[in-house]
């Protein structure tokens, strides 16, 4: 059930990735990140694809390093080559799905025309930043970095 009381219809649609990172599932995203039922499937698919492209770009060096070590696919990697591979897949999906939700939330005010949309629109920037933070934390964890970086000037 969505914010509006309308039931959400989960759509089985795979978003094909580059072969190294896992394919993504629209229904998995809908179930785990609970966006309102008013969002069109095409909108969500496009947002997942864009977020996937951005996260893949952020992780390009990490991917190259792993490929140089002989890893051709994160999901099917030999556990001796890539320990905790299931955890890395989960982090990757959090990075993409978190960024997708962050990019989708501000659009809610344009999707619905009810009074509640005005309040949602006012709150959206804070929630957007929260989900972008979740995404970036997952990207940094995959890169082997902590949540923050300090540099001696």
Taking Cα atoms as reference points, which of 142, 111, 108 lies closest to residue 122? 108
Question: For residue 6, what pLDDT is reported?
Answer: 59
Residue 122 located in a structural domain: yes
Residue 76 located in a structural domain: yes
Q: How far is CA 16 from the centre of its chain?
A: 14
Question: Is 70 exceeded by the pLDDT of residue 115?
Answer: no
- Using an 8 Å Cβ cutoff, are 31 and 10 in contact? yes
* Residues shown for the chain: 153
Instruction: List C-alpha distances in Å: 137 to 24, 114, 118, 143.
Output: 19, 34, 30, 10
Banded model confidence at residue 136, pLDDT cuts 50, 70, 90: confident
Residue 77 located in a structural domain: yes
Domain count for the chain, please give it: 1
Q: What average pLDDT does range 123-145 have in this prediction?
A: 75
Domain membership of residue 79 as a residue range: 14-142
- Per-residue pLDDT of 2-57, as tens digits, reads 445 656 677 788 999 999 999 999 989 988 887 766 677 788 888 899 899 999 99
Q: Which residue has the higher pLDDT, 24 or 141?
A: 24
Q: What average pLDDT does range 136-150 have in this prediction?
A: 78
Look at the pTM and tell me if it is higher than 0.85.
Answer: no
Residue 8 located in a structural domain: no
Residue 1 located in a structural domain: no
Specify the long-range contacts of residues 146-152, CB closer than 8 Å, at least 24 apart. none
Residue 107 located in a structural domain: yes
Beta bridge partners of 24: 15
Residue 120 located in a structural domain: yes
HSE (CB half, 13 Å, CA atoms) of 70? 5
């Amino acid at each position: 059930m969505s914010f509006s009381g309308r039931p959400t219809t989960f759509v089985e649609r795979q978003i094909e990735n580059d072969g190294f990172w896992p394919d993504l599932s629209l229904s998995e995203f809908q179930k785990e990140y609970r966006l309102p039922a008013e969002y069109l499937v095409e909108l969500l698919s496009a947002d997942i694809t864009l977020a996937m492209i951005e996260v893949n770009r952020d992780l390009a060096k990490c991917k190259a390093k792993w490929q140089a070590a002989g890893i051709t696919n994160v999901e099917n990697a030999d556990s001796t080559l890539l320990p905790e591979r299931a955890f890395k897949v989960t982090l990757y999906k959090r990075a993409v799905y978190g960024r997708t939700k962050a990019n989708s939330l501000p659009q809610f005010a344009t999707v619905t025309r009810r009074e509640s949309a005005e309040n949602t629109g006012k709150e959206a920037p804070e929630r957007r930043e929260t989900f972008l933070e979740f995404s970036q934390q997952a990207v940094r964890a995959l890169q082997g970095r902590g949540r923050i970086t300090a540099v001696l000037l």
